[in-house]
Structure 1
Amino acid sequence: MTVLVRALRPGNTSDAEAFAAVRRACVPAMLATADSVLFDLAHAHPGSRYRQLAAEADGEIIGTAQVGIAHDSPEPGQGFANVYVLPGRRGLGAGSLILRTAEEYLAGEGAVTVFSWVLDDPANRAFAARRGYRASRSAHFLRLDLACGPLPPRQEPPAGVELRTGADFGDDPRALFDLDAETVADEPSDVAAEFTDYEHWLAETWNHPLVDRGLTSVAVVDGRPAAFTLARTDDAARYASGMTGTARAFRGRGLAKLAKNDSLHRARAAGYAEAFTGNDAGNEPMLAINKWFGYEICATEVRHVRSLG
């Protein structure tokens, strides 16, 4: 069996459907559709040098990689390559070939370090270690049964707080960009991020096909968005929290919990059956909030890093 690696063809729906299917099979908690795969490629920031690679065996896409430069990090030269191979097609050399191709591409784009998320099981961690990657921080995927599991009762906003939806900010979401940028800057991570490009945020985040503005909830205090949960949904009745956070000046008041509870209740009413989210393993406050909602850890990834010499 011959395995080859190539770039995903822009605008090719069959490529995108196969790419999304690999992602869903390997990491079910990460929403992926053909539309979202095509959108990600078409709207990637030029500075990210983003590529989607496919490992193909006899015409079938059996592995994928998302590859690029962390353009929004204050530290230059940090690349990423997240590789997934269908569970039933491992051992054919697809993972090794796609990773090697990704590293060569990143080196040519000026990367000196490569970060890669690796599923936390012995085989995947051994694969990374054999290729010179060392383990760093970990992150959990969490799942909530929206169809049958209990949710905390809906809460009335405290005095001075109003709950609104993302759709209410559809024409002018600048305040949500500012809130997202502030919360992302405080997220625990190996690779720091700074959101400074509003126009790109509009293109890449706000207008993403998975973002559901109607199910996005925003807690507003004195006309200012103070906390939010960004909802993402797919066509398989699955809901995910793209980001949940609170502005620094309003933390400690339970506003993120208020916004997320509102969004989850409305997602259930809309017919969504599963809810997913992800947290850095060291983000204890958010893990505690999600445990309060009834989320349970369903998978863990460990970020690995390798110098390109």
Structure 2
Amino acid sequence: MTVIVRELRRGSQTDAEGFARIRHLALPFMLYTPESIAYGVEHAHPDSHYQPLLAEEDGEFIGTAQVGVIYDSPEPGQAYVNVYVHPKRTGRGAGSLLVRAAEERLAALGATRLHAWVLDEPGNRAFAERHGYRASRSAHFLRLDLANGTLPPLQSPPPGVELRTAADFADDPRPLFRLDAETLLDEPSDVDREFTDYDAWMTETWHNPLFSPELTSIAVVDGHPAAFSAARTDGGTRYGTVMTGTARAFRGRGLAKLAKNDSLHRARAAGFTEAFTGNDSGNGPMLAINKWFGYEICATEVKYVRELG
């Protein structure tokens, strides 16, 4: 049995389907589709040098890696490598080959610090540490049973607040870009990032095949987006929120909770049966909000970091 690592081929439906299938098996709490994988490769920002890798054993896809540069960080040299292997195909060396190929690629691009998310399981953590990575912060995956669970009742917006969807901003999404960029600055992370490129945001966020403008809820105050809950779907029964936040000037008024509750009710009415989200383990306020909605932690990831050179 021979394991090889190669780049995911642009335009290959087979490669995109194989990548998405392995990611779904390894990370069932995240949304991936062949279309979103193919879109990410085709439309990646040039400065990200994004290149997914596939590990193949005798013609069967058994491992994946997301590899790229964190181009929107003000600190140069930041990059990432996220490796996940088919749960029933571990122990064949695919993970190590993927890590080696990714590190060689990123080192050639001038990366000096590599970030990798690893499921919080003994075998996975030991694997990361054997390859020279050290543990950093952690984050939780959360799941909500939309089909059988009980959502808090819909709330009427307070005076001066209107609930709208991102679809209402289709003619000019720039106000949502500004809101997303502001809330990102306060998201817990060990890598600073800045949204300054509107065109890149349109490509990576607004036009992403998973993004659902109709299920993304916005709390609007005096005509200005003040809080939002951004939704994605897999085109089937799975829905996820990838960012929920409030502009600094409007915090403390419950607007993020209001927007997320509206989005969840919209998702359930549209026939989605599972809701997923993720939170940094140190983000107590958002974890409390999600617990109020009925989310339960279903897995934890640990960020591992390696310095190159």
Class of the TM-score when normalised by the shorter of the 2 chains = over 0.9
Q: Deviations over 1:163-182 (max 9, x none)?
A: 00010001100000000000
Alignment-mate amino acid for residue 43 of structure 1: H
Q: What is aligned with 1:81?
A: 81
Q: What is aligned with 1:264?
A: 264
Alignment-mate amino acid for residue 69 of structure 1: V
Q: What is aligned with 2:285?
A: 285
- Looking at structure 1, the residues matched to 22 and 248 of structure 2 have their Cα atoms a distance apart, in angstroms, of 38
Alignment-mate amino acid for residue 173 of structure 1: P
Superposed displacement of residue 43, structure 1: 1.2
Alignment-mate amino acid for residue 256 of structure 2: A
Alignment-mate amino acid for residue 147 of structure 2: A
Q: What is aligned with 1:216?
A: 216
- Map residues 141-180 of structure 1 onto 2, 5 A cutoff: 141-180=141-180
- Map residues 78-227 of structure 1 onto 2, 5 A cutoff: 78-227=78-227
Identity %: 69
Provide the secondary structure at the position in 2 that maps to 1:87. Answer: coil
Provide the secondary structure at the position in 2 that maps to 1:168. Answer: helix
Superposed displacement of residue 236, structure 1: 2.6
- Looking at structure 2, the residues matched to 152 and 308 of structure 1 have their Cα atoms a distance apart, in angstroms, of 48
Q: What is aligned with 1:52?
A: 52
Q: What is aligned with 1:235?
A: 235
- Looking at structure 2, the residues matched to 146 and 206 of structure 1 have their Cα atoms a distance apart, in angstroms, of 25
Alignment-mate amino acid for residue 21 of structure 1: R
Instruction: Give aligned pairs, total.
Output: 309
- Looking at structure 2, the residues matched to 51 and 285 of structure 1 have their Cα atoms a distance apart, in angstroms, of 35
For normalisation by structure 2, the TM-score amounts to 0.99
- Looking at structure 1, the residues matched to 267 and 25 of structure 2 have their Cα atoms a distance apart, in angstroms, of 24
Superposed displacement of residue 249, structure 1: 0.3
- Looking at structure 1, the residues matched to 292 and 26 of structure 2 have their Cα atoms a distance apart, in angstroms, of 27
Q: What is aligned with 1:294?
A: 294
Alignment-mate amino acid for residue 74 of structure 2: P
- Looking at structure 1, the residues matched to 246 and 235 of structure 2 have their Cα atoms a distance apart, in angstroms, of 29
Superposed displacement of residue 235, structure 1: 2.4
Unaligned runs of 5+ in 2: none
- Looking at structure 1, the residues matched to 256 and 7 of structure 2 have their Cα atoms a distance apart, in angstroms, of 39
- Looking at structure 1, the residues matched to 303 and 132 of structure 2 have their Cα atoms a distance apart, in angstroms, of 13
- Looking at structure 2, the residues matched to 190 and 56 of structure 1 have their Cα atoms a distance apart, in angstroms, of 33
Provide the secondary structure at the position in 1 that maps to 2:75. Answer: coil
- Looking at structure 2, the residues matched to 33 and 114 of structure 1 have their Cα atoms a distance apart, in angstroms, of 26
- Looking at structure 1, the residues matched to 136 and 227 of structure 2 have their Cα atoms a distance apart, in angstroms, of 29
Unaligned runs of 5+ in 1: none
Q: What is aligned with 2:24?
A: 24
Provide the secondary structure at the position in 2 that maps to 1:253. Answer: coil
Alignment-mate amino acid for residue 150 of structure 1: T
Alignment-mate amino acid for residue 193 of structure 1: R
Alignment-mate amino acid for residue 67 of structure 2: V
The structure 1 segments of at least 4 consecutive aligned residues displaced by more than 2 Å after TM superposition are none
Q: Deviations over 1:204-241 (max 9, x none)?
A: 11011000100110000000000000110012300000
